[in-house]
Structure 1
Amino acid sequence: MPKKLHTTVCEESVFASVFKKNSEDLYKFLYYKYGENLNPSDKVQEAFIKLWDNCAKVTPDNARGFVFTVAKRLMLNSIKHEKIVLEYQLEKPKDYTNESPEFLMEESEYLKKYQMALAKLPDGQREAFLLNRVEGKRHKEIAELLGISAKAVEKRIYSALNTLKEEIKELR
């Protein structure tokens, strides 16, 4: 019984020989079984990347089966994804709302008022306010970004809120 020289595929020359022996066959298998639409060449590459990631666990004798199994699963996942995309494309979006036209008009006017009030804020207040309220950053994170203390961030946000309340109240 011949002695095995390599126990894993981690060695570059072993991996290269596995790739050369199996990549073309794998591509043809995927192409003939699933067609060109699902990019069989990409799946071949992904399968060999997974082989390289798991090279310590796979012996050269099992490498072909591993690569074919991984590629087949990748193709099946792509088919599932295509079905889901198709279902959502066929689903019609709502073209109506439960809100009254008056509410929608008031909402758009309020948004304009809000944007005007934001534009009137000083730069430091606007920046701290938007980082906190829009991006969801905490006071400590904002302080690090702006290079100021957390107390200064709190003051800027509090001042911005008060100014916005007053501006929007005046615009009514």
Structure 2
Amino acid sequence: MLGCLAGLERSWAVLITQLMLPRTPFCALWLSWDSLLGIREPRAYLTTTAKRLIVDRIRRQALEEVHLTELAIFAEAGEGYPSPEQIVATLQALEQIAVALEGVSVKAREAFLLHFLEGQSHAEIATHLGVSTRMVGKYLVQSLSCCLQGVTP
């Protein structure tokens, strides 16, 4: 790129370089090369340049820390949601359960769903279905045995 700029006037070269090259310490030194030749206090110039580099580095680290903090917050917020793979696996498992439960009665299927999906107790299911708690237990055993048969080949 420097060879391409050799034929242009110095002001155009500076303008193009400022637009095309990122701001780095090397670019800053290259752009101020003419002023470097007339420095009376090189130690003071180097000290000022070093201080500015340190300030730039601290600013960049502060921005990185803020960015990493935001990413961590975003990652924590996303933990409560299942991944697409988990959703597909869950849907496949539910399909297998639905196919397995086709072999039981309507009351046994409803008892299974009330107990395992809604978390109701045997007594609540018995009241809902109008049967005894012992019958609810039998319904659950029937449903689970059908699910087990559906899973094993």
For Structure 1 versus Structure 2, the TM-score category normalised by the shorter chain is: 0.3 to 0.5
Q: Which has the higher helix share?
A: 2
When normalised by structure 2's length, the TM-score is 0.40
